[in-house]
Amino acid sequence: MQARMIRIAIHVRPGSAKPGVGGSHGDALVVRVRERAVDGKATAAALAALAAALDLRTRDVQLVSGATSRTKIVSLPDGVADAVARLREGG
Protein backbone atom coordinates (compact mmCIF):
# COMPACT_ATOMS: atom_id res chain seq x y z
CA MET A 1 0.00 0.00 0.00
CA GLN A 2 1.38 3.39 -1.02
CA ALA A 3 1.47 6.26 1.47
CA ARG A 4 -0.82 9.21 0.81
CA MET A 5 0.93 12.33 -0.38
CA ILE A 6 0.03 16.01 -0.51
CA ARG A 7 1.31 18.65 -2.90
CA ILE A 8 2.24 22.13 -1.81
CA ALA A 9 3.79 25.17 -3.47
CA ILE A 10 7.05 26.55 -2.13
CA HIS A 11 8.68 29.86 -3.03
CA VAL A 12 12.48 29.61 -2.93
CA ARG A 13 14.55 32.67 -2.06
CA PRO A 14 18.14 31.84 -3.06
CA GLY A 15 21.13 33.76 -1.73
CA SER A 16 19.44 34.56 1.56
CA ALA A 17 21.54 35.83 4.45
CA LYS A 18 19.12 34.18 6.90
CA PRO A 19 18.17 30.72 5.65
CA GLY A 20 15.02 29.11 7.00
CA VAL A 21 11.52 27.91 6.30
CA GLY A 22 8.48 29.98 7.20
CA GLY A 23 6.07 32.61 6.02
CA SER A 24 4.11 32.77 2.82
CA HIS A 25 4.35 34.26 -0.63
CA GLY A 26 0.82 34.12 -1.98
CA ASP A 27 -0.26 30.52 -1.38
CA ALA A 28 3.32 29.24 -1.31
CA LEU A 29 5.47 28.40 1.72
CA VAL A 30 8.69 30.45 1.71
CA VAL A 31 12.01 28.58 1.86
CA ARG A 32 15.12 30.78 2.19
CA VAL A 33 18.51 29.23 1.31
CA ARG A 34 22.10 30.54 1.15
CA GLU A 35 22.87 28.76 -2.12
CA ARG A 36 22.55 30.65 -5.40
CA ALA A 37 20.26 29.53 -8.18
CA VAL A 38 23.06 27.91 -10.18
CA ASP A 39 23.05 24.30 -11.43
CA GLY A 40 20.10 23.35 -9.22
CA LYS A 41 21.96 24.09 -5.98
CA ALA A 42 19.22 26.34 -4.57
CA THR A 43 16.54 23.77 -5.41
CA ALA A 44 18.45 20.95 -3.72
CA ALA A 45 19.10 23.12 -0.67
CA ALA A 46 15.43 24.15 -0.51
CA LEU A 47 14.23 20.54 -0.58
CA ALA A 48 16.73 19.61 2.15
CA ALA A 49 15.73 22.64 4.27
CA LEU A 50 12.03 21.78 3.91
CA ALA A 51 12.69 18.16 4.90
CA ALA A 52 14.63 19.30 7.98
CA ALA A 53 11.92 21.79 8.99
CA LEU A 54 9.27 19.06 8.76
CA ASP A 55 11.46 16.39 10.40
CA LEU A 56 11.41 14.25 7.25
CA ARG A 57 14.04 12.39 5.31
CA THR A 58 15.22 14.34 2.27
CA ARG A 59 13.94 11.57 0.00
CA ASP A 60 10.40 12.12 1.38
CA VAL A 61 10.32 15.58 -0.23
CA GLN A 62 9.90 15.17 -3.98
CA LEU A 63 10.02 17.92 -6.58
CA VAL A 64 6.96 17.67 -8.84
CA SER A 65 7.46 20.77 -11.00
CA GLY A 66 9.32 24.05 -11.17
CA ALA A 67 12.94 22.92 -11.28
CA THR A 68 14.06 26.23 -12.83
CA SER A 69 11.43 28.45 -11.23
CA ARG A 70 11.43 30.10 -7.82
CA THR A 71 7.94 28.71 -7.26
CA LYS A 72 7.98 24.92 -7.12
CA ILE A 73 5.45 22.19 -6.43
CA VAL A 74 6.61 19.49 -4.03
CA SER A 75 5.06 16.26 -2.84
CA LEU A 76 5.11 15.46 0.89
CA PRO A 77 3.71 12.71 3.12
CA ASP A 78 0.10 13.49 4.11
CA GLY A 79 0.86 13.57 7.85
CA VAL A 80 2.73 16.89 7.69
CA ALA A 81 -0.16 19.10 6.53
CA ASP A 82 -0.60 20.71 9.97
CA ALA A 83 3.13 21.42 10.28
CA VAL A 84 3.12 23.02 6.82
CA ALA A 85 0.20 25.25 7.85
CA ARG A 86 2.11 26.37 10.97
CA LEU A 87 5.19 27.17 8.91
CA ARG A 88 3.11 29.20 6.45
CA GLU A 89 1.87 31.28 9.37
CA GLY A 90 5.45 32.13 10.19
CA GLY A 91 6.64 29.38 12.36
Please say whether the beta carbons of 25 and 90 come within 8 A.
no
pLDDT in tens, 26-65: 999 999 999 999 999 999 999 999 999 999 999 999 999 9
C-alpha pair distances (Å), 21 with each of 2, 43, 53, 59, 81: 28, 13, 7, 18, 15
Quickly state the pLDDT bin for 90 (edges 50, 70, 90): confident
Predicted TM-score (pTM) of the model is 0.93
Q: Give the pLDDT score at 91.
A: 61
The CATH number of the domain where 22 resides is what? Answer: 3.30.1200.10
Q: 12 and 31 in contact (C-beta within 8 Å)?
A: yes
Domain of residue 44, residue span: 5-88
Rounded to a whole number, what is the largest CA-CA distance in the chain? 42
* pLDDT band per the 50, 70, 90 thresholds, residue 72: very high
Number of domains in the chain: 1
